[in-house]
Structure 1
Amino acid sequence: MKLMDIFGALKRDMDFIERQLYRSIDGDDELLSETSLHLLKAGGKRLRPVFVLLGGKFGNYDLQRLQHVAVPLELIHSASLVHDDVIDDAGTRRGKPTVKAKWDNKIAMYTGDYIYAKALILATELSNPEIHRILSKALVQMSIGEMEQIRDFFNTEQTVRNYLLRIRRKTALLIAISCQLGAMAAGAPEKVSWLLYRYGYNVGMAFQIRDDLLDLCGTEKSIGKPPGSDMRQGNITLPVIYALQEADLRADLLREISGIHAEDGTGEVSKAIDMIVSSSGIRRSEELADRFIQKALDALDELPENKARSHLKEIALFVNKRSY
């Protein structure tokens, strides 16, 4: 089964979630509604709502309840992207102008804040305080992850451990709680929601590693931004860290990265990309992503067997081999 088949099986419910997303940001202020709508219309895989719905299949599936988790989580993800684009000075996302490029940095920051606030309001429709606690803790950790990324811009001395902690906070945690909170909102057993958290965490780690690989190995058409954008912005990712560990490559690669930094991120990155691609950094990153996916599949094996479990397995396999 392909990813589109999974989305097809959930199409009616995902169409409902999509409508609720648009409704959630409409009406309070004309400009904020316009900028938020611009962001949502840029699209995206909507993986987090899909994870919520599939997590809900392990309990008493109720779309009316699950929307109060699925919509806030996608809004939180979207708000983080608006803020990321300001920090990264990104002109495009998914091939379309960012909010900061179409308007300005101030409008983009307030748009992100507005979307975050809308997410929290929607989540209050569920009375379970544990759901609110998990959601709030995740927001704190995401903020810390953002600060860590800013602190480590162009830091070529950072370790693999630094990188893994950062992507845990920035990416994996939100995917993990999407799976977990979907199950919790549906009243699934605690062990089930915890196993889904483990699955989502490991898929999220692999997802970000693959994202960072695509930034170096993908095309502008496939990834919606120029290859090497992470390096231009100073974001030292896993393949770069691994490549810098190679003694015969380190000095030359450091020189290239230093040149990009000296030119405020506008320097040529093609030589640096060629060096990284020719190193063991790509292979070692792929191997680590493989290990995270295997851990995700191991968690799935402990869950009750149903169609949702099969769908989650297919998503994990897609994440690990995706080219966009």
Structure 2
Amino acid sequence: AAQLAKNAEMDAYLSQLRSLLKEEPCVIKEKLAQLPPPPDTVPGIAPGGRSGEPLQIPSDVTPQSTPVTPQKAPVRPGSMAQLLEQSTVLVLARQPQGLSMGSGFFISRHHVLSNAHVVGNASQAFIINKATGGVLQATVRHRSTAGGQDFALLELSTDVAITPLEFAPGVERTQRVSAWGFPGAVTNDDPKFMALLQGNDSAVPEVVYTEGVVSVILERTPPLVVHTATVSQGNSGGPLVNEQGQVVGINTFIKLDDASYRQSSIAIEGSSITAYLREIGIGFSQAAATPAAAQAQDGKADGQKGVRP
């Protein structure tokens, strides 16, 4: 009977959250702050902000900063999985209510890109994956929420021995994509993540992979890539990549249709990211367009459908 009562409380709470997911992000953020805590939260972890925003970790968890020493340029990983595992990072940032948790990815050997809502107003963040060799401290060098952007640039004091991700020349409907990151729905059950929370700064949670296809590219400002790869809280700031491991977007939020219970995963398109990086003077790598993609872009200029720049 007690368990049934708890289940009913949770169902009611989830119903409120589903209703919120129909709203615009700014409305979600405002109304979510007014909701009471969920009835049965995971011990030690408080609920995060708007849909797609990372979970919040208590303020008494303080990762140890491991000094980064200069490294030789690494050999490029032999597979796409290896490339994404060493370039996708868990991001932790101090907030007034504790540490926020999200994802990010290397765009150079000392720069990591994430969502602005992952780091909030923090001036410092911590990153970790298997390639970093421990928790590393980074400076939040720049962030932007203007004009629908949700970007944060993290800078390390020196290079790390990783191969940064490069940006795809474009993205199109029906293209196969995959999302990489640290979704709370999976990471919360990772023993290494729990060890990290308990102070073991060498414990590295596993990066999570999901795949899908691009459903549509919404012509908004900035353009949004709607795709079917499953993401959840904690994926925010992680890369959405094509079959070559090239970045086509940054996963930022989700929407759930209350009638069909169908989730839409939404990423800000890669062209908006590269425009932002150019604006703030940060270098990045971009793959050359294939002849077919270049022809499609030329066709779009003539009024036909084609690959987005």
TM-score by length of 1: 0.28
Give the structure-2-normalised TM-score: 0.29
Structure (1/2) with the larger helix percentage: 1
Q: Which has the higher strand share?
A: 2
